[in-house]
Amino acid sequence: MSHLSASGRLPLAGIDVWRVATADFSAADDAWHRDLLDKEELRRAVRLRRLDDRLRFEGGRASLQMLLKHYLGSGGGRTAIEAGVSGKLHLAHAGQALTFNSSHSGDWILHAFADSVSVGIDVEKLDERISRGIDDYLAALAPEEHAALEQCPSASRPFQFVQCWVRKEAYLKAIGEGLRRSPELVSIGRAADGRVRLLYDRNSAEPAGPWNFVDLGIDDRHLGCVAYPGPERPVRVCDDAAWRRVRSNGY
């Protein structure tokens, strides 16, 4: 996994991952970043009662628009996007090979971009709710995942659970289903070659093809993962300078 510098528009031979701090979008910024949202996004933001939740949502959609402009070279207007049946966003105009997915939690917003391959990304914050009540979340695990978690020392179980979960949700988002599929019927773990693989997805009668999972160490309080099918591709994580350049040119 390599890191990107701020050297112009980036090629998409692999998967590009962008980390955006939610602190980049504060209440004082409303006058500019809200202009990047469409009417439905603004209505959805208003319905979020907690300021932190609203700013994460607004920041996620605003930074997505800036990055789409970065890749597509579009003008000053919005890039048209729409949601599929399960809510996964995609470009509204046919004929574009660019795919993307986004996630936000805690202090971070993550975006993944790819060329002609479905991609999913997830980030989760390690918080006290998981540490105190991890047993409440175990129903979402497949038997193999549950057994692996039971073998971990108690102190590391919250970390291991979140790592397991972000892999699972990244996969479910990549296939465009999200939690419409039962997560406990999806098993992701280490195969005989030591790589993290999709072991099975019993939500579907179709055999599981090869999937790739790349863990993202965001910081000591957040874990992430990007998932995509098919042959292995390089995954490149942007640095802060690259994001600052996009932001300065993005509006």
Q: What is the pLDDT along the chain (251 residues), one digit of tens a residue?
A: 544 443 445 456 689 999 999 888 876 656 577 888 888 988 999 899 898 888 899 999 999 999 998 888 866 678 888 888 778 889 988 667 899 999 999 999 999 999 989 999 999 998 877 776 677 788 899 999 999 999 999 888 889 999 999 999 999 999 999 888 999 999 999 888 889 999 999 998 887 789 999 999 899 999 999 999 999 999 999 888 889 988 887 65
Whole-angstrom distance, CA of residue 82 vs CA of residue 240: 28
The answer to whether the predicted template modeling score (pTM) of the entire model surpasses 0.85 is: yes
36, 60 Cβ separation under 8 angstroms = no
CB-side neighbour CA atoms (13 Å) of 148: 17
Residue 34: burial class (beta carbons within 10 Å; 0-12, 13-18, 19+): middle
End-to-end Cα distance, the chain: 29
- Report the pLDDT value the prediction gives residue 73, as an integer from 0 to 100: 80
Domains and CATH numbers, the chain: 2-115+240-249 (3.90.470.20), 124-228 (3.90.470.20)
Angle at 199 between CA 195 and CA 201, to 5 degrees: 140
Q: Take residue 127 and report the two structure tokens written for it.
A: 């918080």
- Report the pLDDT value the prediction gives residue 76, as an integer from 0 to 100: 64
108: CB partners within 8 A, 6+ apart: 19, 20, 21, 22, 123, 218, 219, 222, 224
Q: Take residue 120 and report the two structure tokens written for it.
A: 């999913």
